[in-house]
Chain A
Amino acid sequence: MGDREPQDDDQQGTRPHAVGWNALSYMLSGLLLGVGVGWLLSRWLGTDLMMLVGLLGGMSLSMYVIWVRYVREH
């Protein structure tokens, strides 16, 4: 947080807006992927619990990718 010059944001211009909108796409992807995998696992293991695990896992994965791509690199 504190190690960035304030002017960095100005130089990036409108880019932070796009990153924000794009994050929505990643969260939805994580949701789809997580629920999809969770559904398959649920059918395989015969428990609905895997849906919840998949949902949370997918969202976590999304946040991780957003962090790797747009936070860590700057």
Chain B
Amino acid sequence: MRLRLAAGEGFSPPTTEFFWQPLVGDGAFAFTRPMLLMVLSVAVIAPVMVFVAKRMQVVPSKGQFLTEGTYNFVRNSVGKDMIGAKEFRPFIPLLFTQFLLILVNNLFEIIPLLQFPTFSRIGFPVALTLVVFAVYHVVGMRRHGVGGYFKRMVPPGVPGWIVPLIFFLELITYFVTRPVTLALRLMANMFAGTLLLVVFALGGEYMLLEGSNLFVRVASLGSFALFVIMTFFEILVGFLQAYVFVLLTAFYIADSLAEEH
């Protein structure tokens, strides 16, 4: 009822157009809002990390405590758990950098004025995924040799007639579905969350300002309430997606390094 009343007046819901926001220029070489946010995120993360690292103390300050907590989480709960105590060290810089970059850019979705998740534009998650893609293949081929890397894709102890099928299945998994799902999962989650927030915000605004009667105008409160609830939910999603991305990165690396499969 509420929706129909609002829509009947000519409310145009936000579309994917919302995600195309060029700031300078237009077309393929435009400088866009997510590009600015990506630059901003690096400009925030790098000095903070350098600052905290330079002032390390035995009794940590609040900032050091928070940074160390995040670092330990990625180092131990993701890197060490996944890759194993012997070999996880070289990969911690990659995992920690990815986690911070994704987390900060995801949180941009709900920070007033910024309010745009960088990774809702597919190019950004694709760039991160290409790095992951290169790392787990190169690491695996260096460990097992190129031939050995492909050979060990088929787990031992399976019936002979099924081996070619499994080989193709693993090939598709390693080279197509793993990178595609990694990039799409991050992009789609941020995209969908933002679209929801925009719908609730714009819909509420429209009902409040243009509503045909008092009932519709009061009902806009519901829309605004959902906007607030979803904003908190999106904080959770932002953390979760950053976590899942580094978790799977570590898992793929561990999979490529593992001796026996």
Contact = CB atoms under 8 A, between A and B. Distances in A.
B168 A33 contact: yes
Nearest to B157: A68
Nearest to B73: A14
B177 A28 contact: yes
B251 A18 contact: yes
A25 interface: yes
Contacts of A74: none
Size category of the A interface is 20 to 34
Which residue of A13, A22, A26, A30 has the most chain B CB atoms within 10 A of its CB atom?
Answer: A22
A32 B250 CA distance: 25
A22 B166 contact: no
B168 A14 contact: no
Contact of B177 (A12, A25, A61): A25
A72 B247 CA distance: 22
A65 B250 contact: no
A29 B165 CA distance: 11
B68 interface: no
Contacts of A65: 155, 166, 169-170
A25 B181 contact: yes
A21 B78 CA distance: 14
Given A12-B81, A21-B248, A33 B169 contact: yes
A18 B247 contact: yes
Contacts of B248: 18, 21-22
**Which secondary structure dominates chain B's binding surface?**
helix
A29 B172 contact: yes
B226 to A, nearest CB: 28
Interface in A16-50: 17-19, 21-22, 24-26, 28-30, 32-33
A36 to B, nearest CB: 9
Most buried by A among B78, B173, B176: B173
B81 A69 contact: no
Given A15-B82, A65-B170, A29 B155 contact: no
B70 interface: no
A41 B242 CA distance: 41
Interface of A: 12-15, 17-19, 21-22, 24-26, 28-30, 32-33, 58, 61-62, 64-65, 68-69
24 contacts: A12-B81, A14-B247, A15-B251, A17-B247, A19-B251, A21-B244, A21-B247, A21-B251, A22-B178, A24-B181, A25-B173, A25-B177, A25-B181, A29-B176, A29-B177, A33-B168, A33-B172, A61-B165, A64-B162, A65-B166, A65-B169, A68-B155, A68-B157, A68-B158
Closest 8 A/B residue pairs (Cβ): A13-B81, A18-B251, A29-B172, A29-B173, A25-B177, A28-B177, A29-B177, A25-B178
